[in-house]
Structure 1
Amino acid sequence: MRFGIKTRPEHTTWERMRDVWVAADDIELFDSAWNWDHFYPLSGDLAGPNLEGWTMLAAMAQATRRIRIGCQVGCMIYRHPAVLANMAATIDIIAQGRLDLGLGAGWYQHECDAYGIELPPLRERFDRFDEGLQVIISLLSKPTTTFEGTYYQLTEARCEPKPVQRPHPPIVIGGRGPKRTLRAVALWAQQWNSINSSVAEWQALKETLLVRCDEVGRNPEEIICSVNVMIDPERGIGPAVEEVAGYREAGADLVIMNLPHRAEPSLLEPLAEALAPLA
């Protein structure tokens, strides 16, 4: 089993998050670090600060040297997929091939309403997501892309320079939808992340993913299956490590430890020591 960390960029400062990621970069047990793609906080004071995730990734790519970096997960409706493909290529170059390209269909109604961003009905949202995935993968891997979709149209479009990782950075799809989300994972992803779910829910979703892979002729062993585990600051590391052990028994490949708000870099060494026997 592998481990990553996730820091939420709400109600915090750039300097604090940077210091945590740099500290994780120095601890071999952690192989990835993640943030999120929101403009508003999801907890506490919704009028509080929340740093933008993708510009932060570019800075984190420069601040770190080893650890893989990613956004959990990039919201397809916030940016045209061609724009996001160019962003991903640039960040992967800055990171020297360490970007995991997290993508999701989007869901946060409050944010969309505030910014005047249309949040389509669920079916249309996933139709857009499927088209957007194809656009991004094609732009990152082919010299030119011509695409005639319902929502996106490209004509001999280019994305240069290409990312370091070929044919493209690993696609990470986040979500728990058994039909559309897991079908998209089976078709296009190199990693599936179920965000936050119980061990039993995660096992059931993984079984469904195996079915979706069989339907499209995909080898499920090509897909890393990951999950998030939250550390409750009031309960400490112990209960979170026990939860990780359950996911290990269930067959999770990667567990991403969601750090408490305003976590200090000093948390990471004892966390790594507690997780090491499960690695």
Structure 2
Amino acid sequence: MRFGIKTRPEHTTWAEMRDVWLVADDVDLFESAWNWDHFYPLTGDLAGPNFEGWSMLAALAQATRRIRIGCQVSGMIYRHPAVLANMAATIDVISEGRLELGLGAGWNQMECDAYGIDLPPLRERFDLFDEGVQVIVGLLSQEVTNFDGKHFKLTDARCEPKSVQRPHPPIVIGGRGPRRTLGAVARWAQHWNAIVRSPDDWTELKDTLLVRCQEVGRDPAEIVCSVNVVVDPADGIGPAAEKAAGYMEAGVDLVVMNLPHRAKPDILEPLAEALAPLA
């Protein structure tokens, strides 16, 4: 099994986030580090501070040297996919080919209402998401992209410079919807980040993904499967490592350890030691 970490950019400082990622970059067990794509905190005082994920990711790309980096995951409703494709290509160049391109349909009604961003009904939102993924893949992999969809239209569109990773950085699709989300994973993703409650829950969803892959003729072995495990400061590292072991037994490829809020860098070495027998 492989491991990553996730730090929440809410109610914290740039220095605290940066310092954790710098230490994670030196701990070989952790292969990736993730933040999130929100504009408001999700816990505590919703009027408190929360850093924008993609601009922070660009800075962290420059600050680190080895660890793969990503946003878990970027809401398609927040940015035109052509803009996001250019952002992704730039950050992949800055990181010298370490970007994981996390994508999701988006869901946060409060943020959308506050900023005047349209949050369509679920069916329309996934139609928009499907088109957006195709736009991003086209721009990152083709010299010129033309696209004529209901939500997006591109005419002789270019994205230069291209990303270091070809044909594009790995597409990470997050979610658990058995029809639309897993259908999108089967068609376009190299990595599926599942929102699950337990190993049994994950196994059931993985079986559905196998069906979706069969429907489109995709080899499911091409798709990395990951889940998130919360490191609860009240419980400590041990219970989180036990949860990770349960997902390993279920067949998950990658576990992303969600670090406690404002975790200090010194949590990473003991966490890596606890997880090492599973690696």
The TM-score, its normalising length taken from structure 2, stands at: 0.99
Q: Secondary structure at the match of 1:70?
A: strand
Residue in 1 that maps onto 2:160: 160
Per the TM alignment, residue 82 of structure 1 is displaced from its structure 2 partner at its CA by 0.1
8 Å CA contact 1:226, 1:253 repeated in 2 = yes
**SS at 1:172 equivalent:** strand
Alpha-carbon distance in 2 for matches of 1:120, 1:201: 28
| Distance in 2 (alpha carbons) for counterparts of 1:266 and 1:155 | 50
- Give 2:264's aligned residue: 264
Does the 8 Å CA contact 2:37/2:75 hold for their aligned counterparts? yes
Describe the superposition over 1:78-131 as per-residue Cα deviations: whole angstroms up to 9, x where unpaired: 000000000000000000000000000000011111111110000000000000
| In 1: Cα distance, 2:165 partner to 2:11 partner | 33
1:198 CA displacement:
1.6
Q: Percent identity?
A: 77
Q: CA deviation at 1:197?
A: 2.5
Q: Specify the code of the residue in structure 2 equivalent to 1:247.
A: Y
Question: C-alpha separation between the residues in 2 aligned to 1:221 and 1:250?
Answer: 15
**C-alpha separation between the residues in 1 aligned to 2:185 and 2:236?**
33
Q: What secondary structure does 2:227 align onto?
A: strand
Q: Unaligned 5+ residue runs, structure 1?
A: none
Instruction: Note the alpha carbon deviations across 1:213-245, whole angstroms, 9 max, x for none.
Output: 000000000000000000100110011001000
Shift of 1:196: 4.5
Q: What is the aligned partner in structure 2 of residue 62 from structure 1?
A: 62
User: Within 5 A, what are the aligned runs for 1:123-202?
Assistant: 123-202=123-202
Residues matched between the structures, number? 279
The amino acid of 2:92's aligned partner reads: D
Post-superposition, which runs of at least 4 consecutive aligned residues in structure 1 deviate over 6 A?
none
> Which amino acid counterpart does residue 96 of structure 1 have in structure 2?
E
Aligned residues of 2:227 and 2:255 also touching (Cα < 8 A):
yes
Matched letter for residue 55 of structure 1: S
Aligned counterparts of 1:108 and 1:211: Cα–Cα separation in 2: 29
Aligned to 2:155, the other structure's residue is in SS state: strand
Query: 1:242 is matched with which residue?
Result: 242
- 1:201, distance to aligned residue in structure 2 (A): 1.1
Shift of 1:199: 1.3
Give 5+ residue unaligned stretches, structure 2: none
Aligned to 1:80: 80
The one-character-per-residue Cα deviations of 1:150-196 (angstroms, maximum 9, x if unpaired) are 00000000000000000000000000100000000000000000134
- Secondary structure of the corresponding residue to residue 160 of structure 1: coil
Deviation, 1:133, is: 0.2
SS at match of 2:106: coil
For residues 140 and 113 of structure 2, what CA distance do their matches in structure 1 show?
31
